[in-house]
Amino acid sequence: MEFAQSGRPFLAMTLLMSLIPPIRAVRKFAVAAALAALAAACGQSPQAQPQAGPPPPAVTVAKPVQQQVTDYDEYVGRFTAVDSVEVRARVSGYLEALHFKDGQLVKQGDLLFSIDKRSFQNALDQARANLALAKSNVVYTQADLARGQQLLRDKTITDQTFEQRSQAARNAEASVANAEAAVRQAELDLQFTELRAPVNGRIGDRRVSQGNLVTGGTAGNTTLLATIVSADPIHFEFSFDEASFLRYERMAQNGHNHDIASRGAGVPVVLKLIDEKDFTHKGRMDFVDNVIDRSTGTIRGRALFANPGDIFTPGMFARVRVPASPAYDALLVPDVAIGSEQARKYVLAVNSENVASPKYVTLGQLVGELRVIKSGIDKDDTIIVNGVAHVRPGQKVTPHAEKPAAPAAADAKAPAKTD
């Protein structure tokens, strides 16, 4: 046995076999096997003894956060200008000058284009001369009518002659009115040779260069010179489905002051651009359409946003978030504490014996780094918030309390909802 303990079990077995007297082969083999087993048992080292299992994994636990939250819906939409104007000439003529740079901001009344005005000035002078002639004729006919009245009383002229003088006076007055109208039209035509900005906004590029003949008037073949779109404020248009429309309507009828579908003014909304992470731009609903589109089953809504930095551009896409529920008390846990089991979501709760067990939950929106839990947990549950990946359901753990989480910001990040 000393040989076996010294690490040489095979040598010890050989010596023991040499001491056995010759016997039959079968018995000798059995004895050899027994001795080999004894030697192997004697040769086990202390390191080969079974070791104890690993200690329970250490995890961080916390109670759910209680907070008032509001559900939100998100929609994709695009910006549209409050005012959009096509600049077209009202009179025909040669384009004499341009008074703006392509793409610049213009104010209402700024001079944009000038059309050669010489022919229109001539027309105005002619109209004024015709007016003076008509007024002179009025003076003569009125004086002639006054003389005719005296002659009629003296029975010097007949009634027919007097009526002829009266008609001449009336015709002269009508000629004055006609000449005055011609003067006003000529003045308008002369004024229309200067095209000014009808609204504040940003003008596009010029469509016609200086020296070209432009066609004016009110017909459909007039020449487009440029376009102007207003910049501040700006509209944001989006569509939401019929189910959401009904939900908003029910909330409005229940007095929750979320009068989106009922076309009430002032419902606050927030917006973010495609390169932004948070909803930081604040606006208000100002319009909901009066019909639901038959082909898509959606209805168009519109919000108004301030645009002092002129960052919002008509046609630009963005995401808008609108209130989808009144404020309510909710339980929230860190989003990292939520695990997945195929289509189901769960959190691991620790009981009084420090054993982890799964609780299947219904998730709500993300509020900061916390996730709203619609159902599945209690406010007194102890939830594993760190170390979920190292824990199996039913396993014992070593919990460490986490510092209570601060309430999340009120403006929650809602789950995406597209049209």
Q: Residue 182 falls within a domain, yes or no? A: yes
Does 15 lie in the same domain as 39? yes
Q: How far is CA 104 from the centre of its chain?
A: 26
Does 250 lie in the same domain as 138? no
Q: Residue 208 falls within a domain, yes or no? A: yes
The CATH number of residue 381's host domain is: 2.40.420.20
The encoded tokens of residue 147 equal 């003389």
Going by pLDDT thresholds of 50, 70 and 90, the confidence category of residue 184 is: very high
pLDDT (0 to 100) of residue 260: 54
Q: Residue 407 falls within a domain, yes or no? A: no
The encoded tokens of residue 304 equal 């108004």
Q: Name the domain boundary from 278, 305, 323.
A: 323
Q: Does 235 score more than 90 pLDDT?
A: yes
Instruction: Tell me the one-letter amino acid at 164.
Output: Q
Q: Residue 197 falls within a domain, yes or no? A: no
The CATH number of residue 186's host domain is: 1.10.287.470
List strand residue ranges (DSSP E) for 82-204, in order.
Answer: 84-88, 93-98, 105-106, 111-115, 194-196, 201-203
Q: Residue 130 falls within a domain, yes or no? A: yes
Does 40 lie in the same domain as 89? no
pLDDT (0 to 100) of residue 60: 86
The encoded tokens of residue 310 equal 């002129």
Report the pLDDT averaged over residues 67-78: 89
Q: Residue 138 falls within a domain, yes or no? A: yes
Asked if residue 274 lies in contact with residue 317, where contact means CB atoms within 8 angstroms, the answer is yes
Half-sphere exposure of 22 (CA within 13 A, CB side): 0
Q: Does 371 score more than 50 pLDDT?
A: yes
Query: The domain containing residue 214 runs over which residues?
Result: 85-108+203-229
Q: Residue 91 falls within a domain, yes or no? A: yes
Q: Residue 413 falls within a domain, yes or no? A: no
pLDDT (0 to 100) of residue 389: 80
Does 222 lie in the same domain as 93? yes
The CATH number of residue 309's host domain is: 2.40.30.170
Does 242 lie in the same domain as 309? yes
Does 316 lie in the same domain as 368? no
Does 223 lie in the same domain as 94? yes
Q: What's the pLDDT tens digit per position in 289-337?
A: 889 999 999 999 999 999 988 899 999 999 999 888 878 888 888 888 8
Q: Does 118 score more than 70 pLDDT?
A: yes
Half-sphere exposure of 134 (CA within 13 A, CB side): 20
Q: What's the pLDDT tens digit per position in 37-56?
A: 544 545 554 454 555 567 88
Tell me the residue length of the chain: 419
Residues 6+ apart with CB under 8 A from 148: 157, 161, 162, 165, 166
Does 93 lie in the same domain as 221? yes
Does 254 lie in the same domain as 361? no
Does 299 lie in the same domain as 260? yes
Q: 36: helix, coil or strand?
A: helix
Does 263 lie in the same domain as 309? yes
pTM of the full predicted structure? 0.67
- Tally the domains of the chain: 5
Measured at the CA of 167, the angle between CA 164 and CA 168, to 5 degrees, comes to 90
Tell me the backbone φ, ψ of residue 126, rounded to 5 degrees.
-65, -40
Does 335 lie in the same domain as 292? no
The closest of 61, 62, 70 to 408, measured between CA atoms, is 70
